[in-house]
């Protein structure tokens, strides 16, 4: 008999294997087509900052859809202007900052790459540098900055004049020179297994890029908009980048990306870059409503507190050797390469987490979680770990 999972794997081009068909969400829970309830601690991979079907989100979508859903970008709308102003204030760009709206993290990074190219043309520099372990997206430009053979090799040739260095201060010292137009970095490498940059890396990166006239671009697609307990992760390091890409949590489930610039980067002019849907009133109204909710209800403090609570709760559980990350972007390192098994065992018990690498489990729950969600997570996760640890012991017996 053909099941809906078989249909899904046949019809969707983006994934092989059998998929759970999710049909509804509320708060931190989602339900599949069979009525099974899951605790969603992945949050659409760090997207659903307010959880599912939050009244603020629902209200912003429905009000704006009924008012003005889309106009061409020959026109401005109050929704674009409000969100741009809000982002500039929260990021501390000052008056000279600019915001370009896109529809995804990859597109925000494409915009960053074009900014770097314009800077290269203006200065005679060539190279864009990104870090080994980075993930910046899968469109051709952003993929060029994502040095993983599995992702890149089938699609070569990619962008020329891109170099990759290790995420260490020694590699920075050796790799940033006068030929470099821009350095692009994630403050925490999410897809690499929630790996924060070494202490002092961003500070040194800022010093070296400034000294060599290169742009420092931070990819905060995963870390931005409160996910780490700060509005933006770079703020913890006391530096100011030249540009920052955003997406994921910015509209908490509505497709929206942005490139925010700091300082004098009036490099785009009408005609050089644009996107039909970018900055449309519906997406930007939702973005403003989401940011206002995070700000007005003090959710950043909850992100910090619940992050610490979750990290303490998993310390000492079977297979867990440690935790890393910041706020509610947490990687749990395992003593064996069994993260896929742990993820599947968790899902069978009604808990959604993911395995960015063979020995790391990542969680990125909603900023709104409370004691009930932390307790439910701890119970389900610890049972999943015990199951995998027991079967591991049997295999090794």
| Least distance in angstroms from the C-beta of 142 to ligand PMP | 6
Q: Of 318-357, which residues contact ligand PMP (CB under 6 A)?
A: none
CB closer to ligand PMP out of 242 and 387? 242
Asked if 178 is an active-site residue, the reply is: no
Are the C-beta atoms of residues 203 and 223 closer than 8 Å to each other? no
Q: Of 32-61, which residues contact ligand PMP (CB under 6 A)?
A: 45
How many CA atoms are closer than 13 Å to the CA of 388, on its beta-carbon side?
A: 26
The one among 176, 180, 202, 221 contacting ligand PMP by CB under 6 A: 221
Q: Is the dihedral of CA 103, 109, 110, 111 positive or negative?
A: positive
CB closer to ligand PMP out of 106 and 284? 106
Alpha carbon distance 187, 233 (integer Å): 6
- Of residues 57, 100, 135, 232, which has the active-site annotation? 135
| Least distance in angstroms from the C-beta of 247 to ligand PMP | 4
Q: Which stretch binds ligand PMP (CB under 6 A): 135-143, 210-218, 355-363, 368-376?
A: 135-143
Asked if 125 is an active-site residue, the reply is: no
- Of residues 234, 248, 262, 381, which has the active-site annotation? 248
> Which segments of the chain are extended strands (E)?
22-26, 29-32, 37-40, 98-102, 127-131, 162-165, 180-185, 188-189, 195-196, 215-219, 243-246, 257-261, 320-326, 329-334, 351-352, 354-357, 360-363
CB closer to ligand PMP out of 360 and 388? 360
Cα 5 to Cα 12, 343, 346, distances in angstroms: 10, 18, 19
Are the C-beta atoms of residues 225 and 49 closer than 8 Å to each other? yes
**Site track 90-129 with ligand PMP (rule: CB under 6 A), x = hit:** --------------xxx--x--------------------
Q: Which stretch binds ligand PMP (CB under 6 A): 57-65, 123-131, 150-158, 185-193?
A: 185-193
Alpha carbon distance 200, 211 (integer Å): 17
With residue 91 as reference, give the H or E element that holds it.
Answer: helix 78-91
Rg of the chain over all Cα atoms, to the nearest angstrom: 21
What tokens does 392 get?
């591991």
Q: Of 275-294, which residues contact ligand PMP (CB under 6 A)?
A: none
What tokens does 303 get?
């992100």
| Least distance in angstroms from the C-beta of 123 to ligand PMP | 25
Q: Which residue has the tokens 């849907």?
A: 277
- Of residues 40, 219, 242, 359, which has the active-site annotation? 219
Check residue 261 for interaction with ligand PMP (CB under 6 A).
no
Q: Which stretch binds ligand PMP (CB under 6 A): 21-29, 114-122, 184-192, 226-234?
A: 184-192
What tokens does 293 get?
């909710």
Q: Of 236-255, which residues contact ligand PMP (CB under 6 A)?
A: 247
Asked if 219 is an active-site residue, the reply is: yes
Give residues in contact with ligand PMP (CB under 6 A). Answer: 45, 104-106, 109, 135-137, 186, 190-191, 219, 221-222, 247
Active site residues: 135, 219, 248
């Amino acid at each position: 008999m053909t099941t809906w999972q078989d249909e899904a794997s046949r019809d969707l081009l983006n994934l092989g294997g059998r998929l759970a068909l999710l049909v509804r969400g509320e708060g931190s829970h989602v339900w599949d087509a069979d009525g099974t309830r899951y605790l969603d601690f992945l949050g659409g991979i760090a997207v659903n900052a307010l959880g599912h079907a939050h009244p603020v989100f629902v209200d912003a979508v429905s009000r704006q859809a009924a008012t003005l859903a889309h106009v061409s970008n020959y026109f401005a709308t109050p929704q674009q202007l409000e969100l741009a102003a809000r982002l500039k204030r929260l990021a501390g760009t000052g008056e000279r900052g600019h915001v370009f709206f896109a529809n995804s993290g990859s597109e925000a990074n494409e915009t960053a790459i074009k900014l770097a190219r314009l800077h290269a043309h203006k200065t005679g520099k060539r190279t864009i540098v990104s870090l080994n372990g980075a993930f910046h997206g899968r469109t051709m430009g952003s993929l060029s900055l994502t040095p993983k053979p599995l992702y890149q090799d089938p699609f070569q040739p990619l962008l020329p004049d891109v170099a990759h260095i290790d995420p260490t201060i020694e590699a920075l010292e050796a790799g940033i020179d006068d030929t470099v137009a821009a350095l692009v970095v994630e403050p925490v490498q999410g897809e690499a297994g929630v790996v924060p940059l070494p202490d002092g890396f961003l500070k040194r990166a800022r010093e070296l890029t400034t000294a060599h006239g290169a742009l420092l671009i931070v990819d905060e697609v995963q870390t931005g908009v409160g996910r780490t307990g700060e509005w933006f992760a770079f703020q913890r390091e006391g530096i100011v980048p030249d540009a920052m890409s955003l997406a994921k949590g910015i509209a908490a489930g509505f497709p929206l990306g942005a490139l925010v610039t700091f300082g004098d980067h009036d490099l785009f002019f009408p005609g050089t870059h644009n996107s039909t849907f970018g900055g449309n009133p519906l997406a930007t109204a939702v973005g403003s409503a989401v940011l206002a909710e995070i700000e007005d209800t003090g959710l950043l403090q909850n992100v910090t507190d619940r992050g610490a609570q979750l990290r303490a709760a998993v310390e000492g559980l079977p297979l867990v050797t440690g935790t890393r990350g910041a706020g509610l972007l947490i990687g749990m390192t395992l003593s064996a390469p069994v993260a896929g098994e742990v993820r599947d065992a968790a899902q069978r018990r009604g808990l959604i987490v993911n395995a960015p690498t063979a020995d790391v489990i990542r969680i990125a729950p909603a900023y709104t979680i409370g004691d009930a969600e932390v307790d439910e997570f701890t119970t389900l996760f610890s049972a999943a770990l015990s199951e995998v640890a027991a079967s591991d012991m049997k295999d090794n017996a």
